[in-house]
Amino acid sequence: MARFHIGRDNWFLVIPAAILGLATLYTVNRMYRAGDIRRSIEVVTTFEAAGRPPLGAFIAADEGDLTCTAEVLSSFYGTLDVHCVPRNAGINYRWRVHVGQRAFAPINGGTKALMRRYAPEIFTEDSDAEENDVR
């Protein structure tokens, strides 16, 4: 069995191998990041409450097509902030999304009001009081 030995004759292979390894890690990281961004937007726009159209279609019917972007907060935990802006409204809807659990929560007041209109049985005024009641 042949042994690989880094010596005087092949030391120059170490630097290209390290550069190739770093380039591979960078590429894989970018692929995971792009996938998380795509999935976080899908989690929000494809959410369906009982007897309702998907959330993205609900917003589009009232306020026009959505333009959504996402910002990675934690790659390790899969937590992102999703921002959606309808074409015909000046409101910026924001959600905090956990991609692995396919769970999300509204961040700002305008988004909470939207979620109350969309799914009043899930998002109530009482749920806001519970969030703000810290003892």
- Is 47 inside any structural domain? yes
Q: Over the chain (135 residues), what is each successive 10-residue block's mean pLDDT? A: 67 86 96 94 93 92 90 91 88 93 93 92 66 41
- Is 113 inside any structural domain? yes
Rounded Cα gap, residues 68 and 41, in angstroms: 7
Contact 84, 93 (CB under 8 A): yes
- Give the pLDDT confidence score for residue 85 in this predicted structure: 93
- Is 4 inside any structural domain? no
Domain extent at residue 122: 11-129
**Its pTM surpasses 0.85:** no
% the chain with pLDDT above 90: 59
Q: Are strands 66-74 and 93-98 parallel, antiparallel or unpaired?
A: unpaired
- Is 84 inside any structural domain? yes
- Is 67 inside any structural domain? yes
- Give the pLDDT confidence score for residue 124 in this predicted structure: 79
